[in-house]
Amino acid sequence: MKRRSFLKAAGLTSIFATTMSGCANLIKSKTANIKIPRRSTASLSDGTTVDLDQWTAEYVDLWKNTSNNYPFNLKSFDFKTQSHNIYNLNNLGLKLDFEFSKITVDDPNAKNWITKSRQQILKTLAPIFGVAPDVLAKFEKMGLIEALVQYFKQAKMIDPSLSPADIFQAGRNVITANALQIISANKVETHEAILGYSLLYPYSDNIIDNRNLTNSDKLDFAGRFKSRLEGSQNVEPQNEDEKKIFQMVSLIEKRYPRSEFPEVYSSLLIIHSAQVESMFQQNIKNLSKVSVNDEFMMKTFKKGGASVFADAFLAAGHPSPSFAKFSFGFGVLLQLVDDLQDITIDRKAKTATIFNIAAAKGEVLDAYANQLFSFAVQIIGSMPSIDSHGTDITREVQSMLQNGVILLIVEAIESQKHLFGQHYVDNIVDKTTIGSHTNGSLKTIEQKFIQIFSTSESKIIQFLDLYSQN
């Protein structure tokens, strides 16, 4: 099963990609002679109706006109700086792991330890994301830790059987939604809609991974799920996971009543439509014969854009036009980053993407990566201004996002070196704050944290709670 990048989550991965991915052949046979219902319009906070097909076409044109020259304009980091950053990151993980195992929440020194650890965390992470420690502290004080504590507590309250891996998988979309709340100047919190939408993924994953269900069973589920999203209360869940999925939709409805927020559900149904359209890019026998034309790119870009577009509605309820369009564009960017990360996986699955097709044709992908770097700079640069209590924090947020995306792109290049020129790989690592150590280090730290969470779940939540109060 394909996993999404940290920034996309989540979120930015939609339930529809998961639900439909195992059913592509069946979808093709059932839809060969019928017209697929399409949804591409949505209303925004100013009352205007936007056509997402038009937005998609604009981003396709932007991609086609983006330079594929080497990204000399991106800041380079010397080996000493990179080594210092990765050493501090790894050392922080080891130090916190050791100290955490020795201390309890009732320890008189617990609050003092949290204060010192917080300072170390901010000091270590700030240079990796290209901002000052006080900038990270500013974002933290907006409620990011409280939102994380909310998520952990509520997720386990709703379903005590959720595994640490499931919680972290869904948590990626929570972090994405919280970031969008900062960008849209909304209160940072993990409310019912964000929780419900994020937890859709592990439950739908259970259905797709269930070998006792046929592809026809899974496609039937996709139809029932679509009906539930459309507001039908007469759809009966057929198993426990399906029941939980419908309960997650009810959580979204609790936060956003359909009568007041109809476009929240339109945005979710737009994902459904985009995912169905993109299913024709799966199970391709000969990828080298596929043409990357405008129609192909429209399907790819719309699928990615629609995913984060839905997150924008869940984060803001009634997103502004500028925020909604940025969210759509950012979704396109993250889709492309995800496709670059998964070239090897997609080739095995015979899934057609821009990069996968180029690789199948024997092309060296240096120019494509260059194009993605430049595209990322343009998308992130289009972010609307962010006012936080009278302070413009746009540049700081852009810096964090850009450094995060660059890390993901370089990690994708390093983990698939055989698809790029050796000289290119040796030089492109200079564009990240942690250099060639990117490949594996961030994943290792995340896996380590999941392992710790598995054995000390309640203790971690207690300390996070104390951390948010500190």
CB 273, CB 37: distance < 8 Å:
yes
| Cα–Cα distance measured from residue 27 to residue 13, given in angstroms and rounded to the nearest whole number | 20
pLDDT at 32: 36
| Whole-Å CA distances, 375 to 328, 332, 368, 406 | 14, 10, 10, 11
Q: Which residues contact 233 (CB under 8 A, 6 or more apart)?
A: none
Quick check: is 173 in a domain? yes
Residue 117 structure tokens? 């650890």
pLDDT at 33: 36
DSSP code at position 42: E
Quick check: is 6 in a domain? no
CB 403, CB 129: distance < 8 Å:
yes
Quick check: is 1 in a domain? no
Please provide residue 49's backbone torsions phi and psi, each rounded to the nearest 5 degrees: -105, 125
Q: 185 by DSSP, 3-state: which?
A: coil
Q: Is 286 exposed, middle or buried (0-12, 13-18, 19+ CB in 10 A)?
A: exposed
Segments in 129-212 forming alpha helices (H): 133-139, 145-158, 164-183, 192-209
Quick check: is 89 in a domain? yes
Q: Which residues contact 45 (CB under 8 A, 6 or more apart)?
A: 318, 319, 320, 321
Q: Angle CA(463)–CA(157)–CA(140) in degrees, nearest 5?
A: 40
Cα-to-chain-centroid distance, residue 393: 22
pLDDT at 7: 40
Quick check: is 10 in a domain? no
| Cα–Cα distance measured from residue 178 to residue 330, given in angstroms and rounded to the nearest whole number | 15
Quick check: is 3 in a domain? no
Number of domains in the chain: 1
| Cα–Cα distance measured from residue 43 to residue 47, given in angstroms and rounded to the nearest whole number | 6
| Cα–Cα distance measured from residue 87 to residue 78, given in angstroms and rounded to the nearest whole number | 14
pLDDT per residue as tens, the chain (470 positions)? 344 443 444 333 444 444 444 444 444 444 333 344 456 777 776 677 888 889 999 999 999 999 999 998 899 999 999 989 888 988 888 888 888 888 898 899 998 998 898 899 899 999 988 888 888 888 888 888 889 888 988 998 888 888 888 888 888 889 889 999 999 888 999 999 999 999 987 887 778 777 788 878 878 888 898 899 999 989 999 988 899 999 999 999 999 999 999 989 988 888 877 776 766 677 778 888 888 899 899 989 998 998 899 899 999 888 888 999 999 999 999 999 999 999 988 888 888 899 999 999 999 999 999 999 999 999 999 999 887 666 778 888 999 899 889 988 998 998 899 999 999 999 999 998 888 754 445 666 667 667 777 777 778 878 877 877 76
Q: 40 by DSSP, 3-state: which?
A: coil
Quick check: is 145 in a domain? yes
Quick check: is 290 in a domain? yes
List the one residue out of 133, 129, 130, 121 whose CA is nearest residue 88: 121
pLDDT at 409: 94
Q: Is 353 exposed, middle or buried (0-12, 13-18, 19+ CB in 10 A)?
A: buried
| Cα–Cα distance measured from residue 59 to residue 134, given in angstroms and rounded to the nearest whole number | 35
- Look up the domain containing 74 and give its range: 15-39+54-469
H or E stretch covering 50: strand 49-51
